[in-house]
Structure formats: structure tokens, C-alpha cells
Amino acid sequence: MKIATWNVNSIKARLDNALAWLRQANPDIVCLQELKCEGHAFPAQAFEELGYNVLVHGQKTYNGVAILSKFTPEDVTRGLAGEEDDTQARYLEAVFARKSGVVRVASIYLPNGNPLGTEKFDYKLRWMDRLRAHAKALLKLEEPLVLAGDYNVIPTPLDARHPENWVNDALFQPQSRARFRTLLNLGLTDAIRQVHGDTPGLYTFWDYQAGAWQRNNGIRIDHLLLSPQAADLLTSAQIEREVRTQEKPSDHVPVVIELKA
């Protein structure tokens, strides 16, 4: 079973890119982030014609997450509990049947948190606390779980070409990184690091500015975190760098894992 995550940075702007990549990579489940459209405006038919079931938790102009799957989704959850007045579309979860049981998958678009010293950073930290509480509850189910998405967190200096350039950014703050570690400390596994160890240069995002792509000035902020049951099934994990060479690309690229069926 091939599961992918990709921040497309506007599904309407990146529709042709997304369809081309899906035809080539043929993943079974795809978590998309930063759709920048409401659910009714999501181009579902184009993906359905490729054989995908479509789940969307959208928001006008901002945010938005989706899950495309070749399996029928069940037990769908839209939104993350913990703040009743939070209307931002950042979390979508569903269960999918596979040959030997089920897998639970969530598409996550964690808040950016910039600029520092504002409510946006406080919201990021609260959201991460809510995610940890939810993940802790899900782990009690003892089933394969994949929490996939754009976490907007650079976990370690190894995950940035120039970590010194990010010390004043919300993505690399001690509080952000500490909360990411609390997720891992629940028993979750970072799929890319599990497969590739401390290999440097594994980036998933390159800014559009200052020739970041051409200079390989990247960061790794798109992650797939696995429950112990999912980690036991992990056979591969890779970053699809070549997608960044497409015309009018997203500033993120897909990250793909494979689990035993």
C-alpha cells in the first residue's frame, strides 16, 4: 500500500501537476494540504476519473486538506477537537480497509505560526498540543495509523540546508521542535528517518524566492508519522524531488511511503 502526502499550495493552480504525478506514481492513498478552496469548489471529478474516492475539508482562500483513496473511506473525522471556535480546515482523518485489516490515515496542515510573538504562534503551539492529545487517543486503538502532512516544523538542524537562517522562524523554534518530539515520544515513527537514518539533504520544501531550489536551500517539514503497528509494515519511504522541476510547481514535493498489504 503506497501512501503519500503533498502540500499542493492551491489545488486549482496545481491541478495538472497533481494529475500528472498521480498517473505516474499511482499511490493508493494521498493526503493533500493547502487546497485554498471550499469543499464544493474542489475538482473532485478529475480525481474520481483516476479511480480515487475524494474526501475534502475545505476553506475559502486558505488552508484546506483532502484525502484521495482507492479504498472506501470510513469513520471520517473533519477537524481537530480541543477548540470549539477553531474554524480553520487543517485536519481530516479516515479509516480504510486493506487485505489484512484497516489503516487509519490523517491529512494534517499544521499552522505556520509566523510571525513570532503573535497569536499565530500561540495558535500553532495550542494546535500541536491538541494534535498530541488526539494522537495519544488514537494510539490506544493499536491499529496501523499514519499521521501525514505539512507539519510546518523543521525537527532538527539536519532537516535544513542552512539551519542558522531559520532561528527566528516559527518552524524552527525550540517550542515547535519540542512539541514535535512529544509526538514522537508517544511511540510514533518518522518514516523518512526510519528508512534513511541521518542522511543529510532530505528536503521537502524550497521557497520560491532567492533561488532556493537552484541552490538546494531546502527544509524538511512534510512528515509521515507512524504508529508502531504501521511502522512494522513500513518497507520504503522517499521524497519525490523531481516533482519540483515541473512547470509552475508547488513549493513542496510529495513524500511517499509503502506499507506491506
Residues 90-111 pLDDT 10s: 999 999 998 889 999 999 999 9
Known binding residue 251? Answer is yes
Task: For the full predicted model, state whether its pTM sits above 0.75.
Answer: yes
Q: What pLDDT score does 8 carry? A: 98
**Catalytic-labelled residue, pool 52, 91, 109, 203:** 109
Known binding residue 164? Answer is no
Known binding residue 150? Answer is yes
Q: What pLDDT score does 234 carry? A: 98
User: Is 208 known to be catalytic?
Assistant: no
Domain ranges of the chain: 2-259
- Where do we find the cell 471550499? 38
Q: What pLDDT score does 100 carry? A: 82
DSSP assignment of 14-38 equals THHHHHHHHHHH--SEEEEE---S-
Known binding residue 216? Answer is no
User: Is 223 known to be catalytic?
Assistant: no
- Residues of the chain with confidence (pLDDT) below 50: none
Q: What pLDDT score does 98 carry? A: 83
**What CATH number matches the domain at 2-259, 3.40.50.720, 3.40.50.2300, 3.30.2270.10, 3.60.10.10?**
3.60.10.10
**Catalytic-labelled residue, pool 150, 159, 169, 190:** 150
Helices (H), the chain: 15-25, 44-48, 119-139, 174-185, 191-196, 228-231
